[in-house]
Structure 1
């Protein structure tokens, strides 16, 4: 009886995983389809503007707000 419960539980988990993967795949398919259609019509989507890179511990990173604050050491956490 317990083995049957485990098999049913495993099947339900597999079904849920397949559903999530299928949903994600359809979203990617739709997004790239729209991108192809926009590029075909001559509409180039705007890329996000990235500020020049900064060096953090020997690694180059894009300066985003959280990274910039972390580098300056001015993050305040109010708990």
Structure 2
């Protein structure tokens, strides 16, 4: 059985310089947070870095050692 959370969608709205990021899960749950534009920029940069890593090779996170392994060995 997969330990991944349910799928869903993300909605971003901008109100007077504040950003509201909402996550709507397929199981009906919703989470919304507010961010400054700078915080959103930082989040976008973080997500771009994660995508770059994911495209290169699989990454495994060892919860015991708290280390990331890029070659598939833990």
What TM-score do you get using the length of structure 1 for normalisation?
A: 0.33
What TM-score do you get using the length of structure 2 for normalisation?
A: 0.34
Which structure has the highest strand share of the two? Answer: 2
Which structure has the highest helix share of the two? Answer: 1
Structure number with greater CO (CA < 8 Å, separation at least 6) is 2
